[in-house]
Amino acid sequence: MSWTKEQARKLADQILSYSKAPECEVALDLFHAAHTRFAANDVTTSGTAKDLTISITSRGEGRSGTARVNDTDPRALKAAVARSEETMAAASVDPEFVEGLPAQKYPEIRAFHEETAKAGAAERRKGVKAALDLGRAKKLNASGFSETAARWSAIANKRGNFGFSTSTSSEFSTTMRTEDGTGSGWAGLEAPRFSQIPAEELAARAAKKAELSAKPKEIEPGSYTVILEPQAVADLIGNMFSSLSTRVADEGRSFLSKPGGGNRIGEKVFAESVSVRSDPFDPRVPGRPWAGGGGGGFLGFGGFGGAAFAGLPTRKTTWIEKGVVKALPLDRYWATQAKGEPIPFSGSLVMEGGSGTVEDLAVGLDKGLLVTRFWYIRTVNPQNVQLTGLTRDGVWLVEKGKIVSPVINLRFNESPVDLLKNVEAMSAPVSTGNMVVPAIRARDFTFTSKSDAV
């Protein structure tokens, strides 16, 4: 099952015709996914999943109520609309209520690829087999996940707004462990096209990391210059951007708040080399035509009828340019308070970088640590985005410009804000899934304790 634009519009119009509320908003999401999972050098599961979500929000007189259903039978749809109206009537008045959007003009974004939508177990087999064969040949324990997904989404309301979007994604990741359990390597990638996933290359990279990370040496926690591979950078940067908004800064709840009120837009906060933008038209990390809703948002920016800028057309936006904060997401309600135009968060992030590879960043480094990625990341202090977490799947000591030996995993306690202030050099940027980021070399990265994790 899939939707055309006309079919999605017909379903949305049908639902809206049942509404008796002053306003009604509908978000439709049809999601197909297929996967192959493997562990202990063998396939463990393979399957498909299809899910339909219909979210109906009735709104009026400062109140709103939402009901969800996964059935297109007219009786189920009428009952869901009635349930949303009952919830609206029982709700308290929202002092920050904003009216629904009038008809919007949404951009055309090519994010759907038939090769991905049609890829099945037979197409995934080659990459999975490469990882399993390599694991067995090298006496490594291979596990991982290969998935393809397709999504059809639509939003509509009684004021004449309608948007339709289609997208696909393909993902492959694998972890290799040595027989003695002391070495672990990981590699993975997500991309819109199935053919963009180099599964054999990723398996080889994970295997090499596993072998090179075996029998790690002890190292004392402390402050180190670090080389963070792109995935490690994405792990931290995503956490920072999920907390950014004009309102949070204006209300004094952000590292971008000014003492006494206001925000630091226009100020240089980060290193000169740091520039970050959202670009929903970038084919490496395409976004959706609208912000929020219709199948979940990115980085926690709400759904249609939730966040006050949801449903606004997405656009290319520069957030940081040469270290200067140029803009922050601004929702529709706070825009009325700040007397500005709403600025939606447009999905993916693209960070500019330098040139060369991760290995090139080691040149000239007297002493530091090379980190593959982080996991189990938690917020310590939301005000300054202080995070804690663990390194994973390979950490190496770098001395005199050379990678000399694997070391044990460590717990970090650091803020991506300080990371971007302390940047010394960056590699060429690469796609990590929903971000394009470089590897980063930065000084004064704090590790607080040792970890037994592999």
Q: What pLDDT, on a 0 to 100 scale, did the predictor assign at position 16? A: 98
Backbone torsions φ then ψ of 211, nearest 5 degrees = -65, -40
Predicted pLDDT of residue 294: 41
pLDDT tier for residue 423 given thresholds of 50, 70 and 90: very high
Q: Is the pLDDT of residue 392 over 80?
A: yes
Residue 374 has what pLDDT? 97
Average pLDDT on 387-397 reads 97
Closest CA to 291 of 150, 160, 107, 434: 107
| Section 19-33 average pLDDT | 97
242 confidence band (pLDDT: 50, 70, 90): confident
Task: Give CA separation, 273 vs 354, 427, 436, in Å.
Answer: 8, 11, 15
Q: What is the mean pLDDT of residues 73-91?
A: 98
Please check the confidence at residue 178 and state whether its pLDDT lies above 50.
yes
Confidence of residue 445 (pLDDT cuts 50, 70, 90): very high
What structural domains does the chain harbor? 5-206 (3.30.2290.10), 211-238+353-450 (no CATH)
DSSP conformation letters of 119-152: --HHHHHHHHHHHHHHHHHTTEEEEEEEEEEEEE
pLDDT at site 309: 64
* Sequential DSSP letters for 212-272: HTSSPBP---EEEEEEE-HHHHHHHHHHHHTT--HHHHHTT-STTBPTTS-B-TTSB-S-T
Residue with tokens 């966040």: 307
Bridge partners, 175 (sequence order)? 143, 186
User: Under a CB-based contact definition with an 8 Å cutoff, are residues 112 and 167 in contact?
Assistant: yes
- Distance in angstroms (rounded) separating the CA atoms of residues 103 and 159: 7
* CA–CA distance, 332 with 340 (Å, rounded to integer): 9
Question: At 308, is the pLDDT very low, low, confident or very high (cuts 50, 70, 90)?
Answer: low
- Average pLDDT, integer, range 402-413: 97
Predicted local distance difference test score (pLDDT) of residue 322: 98
Given a cut of 90, whether residue 304 has pLDDT beyond it is no
